Amino acid sequence: MKTDSNTFYSILQDNIISGAFVGQNILTFREITSTNNLMKELMAKSTPLPEGTVIMAESQTAGKGQQQNVWHSEAGKNLLFSMLLLPRFLQPNNSFGLVAAVSLGVIKPLQKILGKNVCIKWPNDIYYGQKKLGGVLIENVLAGQTIKSSIIGIGLNINQEVFPDYLPNPISLQQILQKKSAIKEVLLQICASIEVYYLKLKVGESAEIKQEYLDNLYGFGQQLAFQTNDTIFTGEIFAVNHFGLLGIKKQNETIFFDLKQVKFIFN
Ligand code: BTN
């Protein structure tokens, strides 16, 4: 892959990257159905994949988004990958810690380049202002009271310049920076950064991660417009609870929503 002079590459040169296991084993494909699906298929084979294995594709024929959506990405232009984590130290009802750790791991290297405009839109969309730069799809495999494995699928818009009209608010690095970025270098930055947050989670720093997540959450503590099935209302995000539900204060009420129940309305 090309590593033309760009900011991500220079950070790589500065040796900030020091990942120990995430991204040490990267499998790259030109076109597959979905990196998440291929990870599942490879996991079903007899040789176990090492934790931190990454599958990256230039293009997906059936890229999956949240809530059964299709993930759109022009071939060869964007970062599409899945990483395997084995968070056996987490109980399924604590899995929001992983969502927060991964989201922070993705935004931190992006903030170095793009500044504080990069944020997390609950629960784990990657936003630049009010525009969607990327998304995360986490698929956990449970075994009793533990998470046996977790496939972390990440799609980030890097060099795509034109998006289909049906996407409400996409944006890419290229559109922000007005120059191309080296996709593989972005991948390496994000792998190292996710590893940092994942290890924090592993040593029990979930309260710190949760606070940092809220500090980087789009609209936290602000009056925003939301939509539920039957109403549009103004409210303030005041919390994300242990289960990852979004807490909104609406006049004198406080309500917790799951992903299917509430939508953000952008200006
Ligand atoms: C979202 O809807 O915001 C989540 C999008 C996640 C897309 C990525 S692209 C790489 C990985 N493979 C998939 O099929 N989906 C995820």
* pLDDT for residue 191: 96
The C-alpha atoms of residue 205 and residue 198 are separated, in whole angstroms, by 10
Q: Tokens at residue 238, please?
A: 């005041």
| Residue ID of nearest Cα to ligand 1 atom 3 | 135
Share of the chain above pLDDT 70, in %: 93
State the pTM of this model: 0.92
The C-alpha atoms of residue 248 and residue 150 are separated, in whole angstroms, by 29
* pLDDT for residue 31: 98
65 lines ligand 1 (CB under 6 A): yes
Residue 253, amino acid: E
| Residue 136 contacts residue 154 (beta carbons within 8 Å) | yes
Q: How confident is the model at residue 19 (pLDDT cuts 50, 70, 90)?
A: low
Q: How confident is the model at residue 13 (pLDDT cuts 50, 70, 90)?
A: very low
Instruction: Locate the ligand 1 atom nearest the alpha carbon of residue 67 and give its number.
Output: 2
51 lines ligand 1 (CB under 6 A): no
CA 72 to chain centre: 15
pLDDT single digits (tens) 83-114: 999 999 999 988 999 999 999 999 999 999 99
123 C-alpha vs ligand 1 centroid, how far in Å? 14
Angle at 220 between CA 202 and CA 153, to 5 degrees: 45
